[in-house]
Amino acid sequence: MVNFPNEIDSRTKVIRTIKSCNNKTQLKAATIMVGNYYKIFPNRSTFYYMNKIIDMKERSFRLKSLEE
């Protein structure tokens, strides 16, 4: 029997991965994860929400680099 991924668990894992990114390389990998998530679960509102989290994280990296 095939086990299909659970949408809520997958979404939680992707969001947790995005929030734990420490540099731009990890953020780029998280962006790929969001794209793959959207291919499996085509839910536009969740896709936009995850991209918004990525944008906020990227802005925080830019602000940190300006402070240094």
pLDDT greater than 80 at residue 4: no
Identify the H or E element spanning 63. helix 44-67
Is the distance from CB of 63 to CB of 50 less than 8 angstroms?
Answer: no
User: In terms of pTM, does the model score above 0.95?
Assistant: no
Q: Domain spans of the chain?
A: 8-67
The pLDDT score that the predictor gives to residue 3 is: 77
Give CA separation, 5 vs 11, 27, 37, 42, 44, in Å.
Answer: 10, 23, 10, 13, 18
Query: 5-38, pLDDT tens digit by residue?
Result: 788 899 999 999 999 999 889 999 999 999 999 9
pLDDT band at 1 (very low <50, low <70, confident <90, very high): low
What is the share, in percent, of the chain residues with pLDDT greater than 70? 94
- For the residues 43-50, what does the mean pLDDT come to? 90
Tell me the three state secondary structure of residue 3.
coil
